[in-house]
Amino acid sequence: MFRVPLRSLSTSARQSLKIGLIPADGIGKEVIPAAKAAIIAVGSDIPKPEFIDLVAGWECFTRTGVALPEETVEILKNECDCALFGSVSSPSRKVVGYSSPIVALRKKLDLYANIRPVTSVAAQSGQKPAVDLVVVRENTECLYVKEETLTVGENGKEARATRLITERASRRIGQMAFELAKSRPRKHLTIIHKSNVLSVTDGLFRETVRAVPSLPGVDGKYSDVTIAEQLVDSAVYRLFREPEIFDVMVAPNLYGDIISDAAAALVGSLGLIPSVNAGDNFVMGEPVHGSAPDIEGKGIANPLASIRSAALMLRRLDYTKAADRIDNAVDQVIREGRYLTPDLKGKSTTSEVLEAVLSKI
């Protein structure tokens, strides 16, 4: 899992932990309350939690014409220590005035890294999991800068998108990936790219990440980290054929998004995969799954990714004991197999899975 905080935030002076809750759309409204309950359950292992309910998302846009209210951003910046985001129902068609609120939040809060652990649960406690990897995804640029044009030429409509890769963003995501790799037992980092075709953009990403150990002031800090590379298409193939070869994977935004979603199949469901959006001054937990409108309101959404995202958030804030209690409880519930939602071939409801986790925290 995500074993150590990437940046240890001062915790000794906190009398309370102010957590922004942004359920947003779809099943986000069902799984974020589960994460909240898990946080409350760890009791004195964290400062007294104070929750601030905030709004964003497609439903917010349809009501107000704004997907990410400025008030939400300002409260997160000025009043919250961290946050949890649920899921968003961004339309697949262009809607004038709408832009994804989670993409915007990552930029406005400078949450430049999306860290997604993908770890299977071993049959017996203490056994090595068959899958144990982390995808470190650059969160602020690539094609997600959302600069697109549509023109008409001799071949009819022509759509173009700007792909931005900068040295600064590549360097800092590289540094975060090296730090994470160094903290893990295998100390292995794979750089994901497609520079055999995209020699300028992916070439810059690859070269910048590879150069991190040579930066001024590093002084051999990462000398024990093994560096490997994989073309993104080959990486997906090998991810399914031999996932054990991967430890930490670092990728530009689009590749990281696709790889981490694909990797969820290795452990059974997107409903198990947590993430954190991390910067130098803030962290926001976010389950990897989408808003799942097909099961919204049915009470069968898997809350485990959201609960694990809460644990990742707490770990980032250096509340290791609390994070371990949550993660161990989730592992026990999965291992026992008695309370599982339909995506894991079970018959339990969201609330039944939550109660099973809470009973083990």
**Active site residue ranges:** 144, 194, 233, 257, 261
Which residues, at least 6 apart from 201, have a Cβ–Cβ distance to it below 8 Å?
A: 163, 165, 252
DSSP string, 92-149: SS--TT---HHHHHHHHTT--EEEEEEEPPPSSTTSPPS-EEEEEEE-S-BGGG--EE
108, β-bridge pairs: none
Instruction: Please tell me the distance from the alpha carbon of residue 329 to that of residue 42, in angstroms, as a whole number.
Output: 11
Helices H, strands E: what count in the chain? 11, 12
The answer to whether 286 touches 84, Cβ cutoff 8 Å, is yes
Amino acid at 283: V
Which residues, at least 6 apart from 282, have a Cβ–Cβ distance to it below 8 Å?
A: 76, 77, 80, 82, 83, 109, 110, 111
Phi, psi of 313, deg, nearest 5: -60, -45
